[in-house]
Amino acid sequence: MKHASEDMVEWFPASVKEPSTLQIDNLRDKFMQARDHKLPKAIVGIGGGSTMDVAKALSVMMCNEGSASQYQGWDLVPNPGIYKIGIPTVAGSGAEASRTAVLMGKERKFGINSDHSMFDAIILDSSLIKNVPIAQRFYSGMDCYIHCVESLQGTMINELAKGNASKALELCEKVFLSDGDDDMLLTASYMGGVSIVNSEVGVCHALSYGLSLELGYRHGFANCVAFNVLDEYYGPWVDRFREMLKIHKIELPKNVCRSLDEAAMQRMVNMTLKMERPLTNALGENWKDKMTPNKIVSLYERM
């Protein structure tokens, strides 16, 4: 809807589903047509991770030709985007700090991973996250927790990532195991995002993308479902995660893949195998020897 002479406001239904490449293409075309193809001076994303990803993706696509699906991957964006500002109202995704805009496609969930995807400015105000529902606060907060674990346990880490991930992990545990506040959670979210910019995610995120693609799970929830069976990779941190589940009275579903047919399971396996960088970070250059299709199926069957 129009808000001022040249301003436009778009509400994105982030609680319903994750953003798609088609939605970004359509929004870009809608805005450009309404503005007579005049580029905006800035794009402001106010919301959770998905909403901020929409803002980042739109910024990129305002200045690059074709479909958003062409830029899903690493460092494929040739031109800088529109100046963009991120204002998180849900803490945990780290989207305010990350260099990716995660989008659903027809056959894959993948990010536009580029320096051009990063916000030019952010506003962190913990009063904006105080009314987030308990379950949503938990699932999004666990996205941050898992970011930090995967970063610290990975091979693609440097001292900057290590410092940010360690502090963010400490803050997450204070928030969800003790009496930490919203300031701590919002700070952890940002620092967790910084850690991922300078390292990479791991096995949990690689598997969770398949859950989102096939079952429609939101990102933080999908991560929780996947992380709960990854003792083999992140044992002590999975134990603490389960403590957090009990404290906050969060019950995860079981046997979520039981009703999937062989074709659906194969699509999930294929999605996981496309996550080469996260799996390399977690398992090393020979990750294909360790994360075989049969292994992936066995992990999904335990969820």
Q: Does residue 180 share a domain with residue 121?
A: no
Please check whether residues 164 and 260 belong to one and the same domain: yes
Put the strands of the sheet holding 109-113 in their side by side order: 73-74, 109-113, 102-104
Q: Domain holding 196: CATH number?
A: 1.20.1090.10
Where a domain ends, among 113, 132, 151?
Answer: 132
Task: For residues 172 and 102, state if they share a domain.
Answer: no
Give CA–CA dist 166/164, Å, rounded. Answer: 6
pLDDT at residue 281, rounded to an integer = 98
Give, for 152, the enclosing helix (H) or strand (E).
Answer: helix 134-152
- CA dist 164 and 226 (Å) reads 24
Q: Name the residue range of residue 244's domain.
A: 134-303
Phi then psi for residue 105, to 5 deg, are -120, -175
**Of the candidates 103, 132, 161, which is a domain's last residue?**
132
Q: Would you state the pLDDT for residue 1?
A: 46
Q: Are residues 211 and 74 in the same domain?
A: no
Same domain membership, residue 140 and residue 127: no
Alpha-carbon span 279 to 262, nearest angstrom: 23
Residues 53 and 179 in one domain: no
* Strand ranges across the sheet with 84-88: 43-47, 84-88, 121-122
Of the candidates 292, 291, 297, which has an alpha carbon nearest to the alpha carbon of residue 265?
297
> What is the token pair recorded at 58?
């739109």
Distance CA 138, CA 7 (A): 34
Residue at which a domain ends, from 104, 132, 160? 132
29 and 73: one domain? yes
Q: What is the pLDDT along the chain (303 residues), one digit of tens a residue?
A: 445 557 899 998 887 889 999 999 999 999 999 999 999 999 999 999 999 999 999 999 999 999 999 999 999 999 999 999 999 999 999 999 999 999 998 888 999 999 999 999 999 999 999 999 999 999 999 999 999 999 999 999 999 999 999 999 999 999 999 989 999 999 999 999 999 999 999 999 999 999 999 999 999 999 999 999 999 999 999 999 999 999 999 999 999 999 999 999 999 999 999 999 999 999 999 999 999 999 999 999 999
The pLDDT of residue 5 is 56
Are residue 232 and residue 118 in the same domain, yes or no? Answer: no
Is the pTM higher than 0.85?
Answer: yes
Read off the CATH number of the domain in which 20 is found.
Answer: 3.40.50.1970
Count of domains forming the chain: 2
Same domain, 153 and 296: yes
Asked whether residue 235 falls in the same domain as residue 98, the answer is no
- Domain check: are 241 and 255 in the same one? yes
- Residues 142 and 78 occupy one common structural domain: no
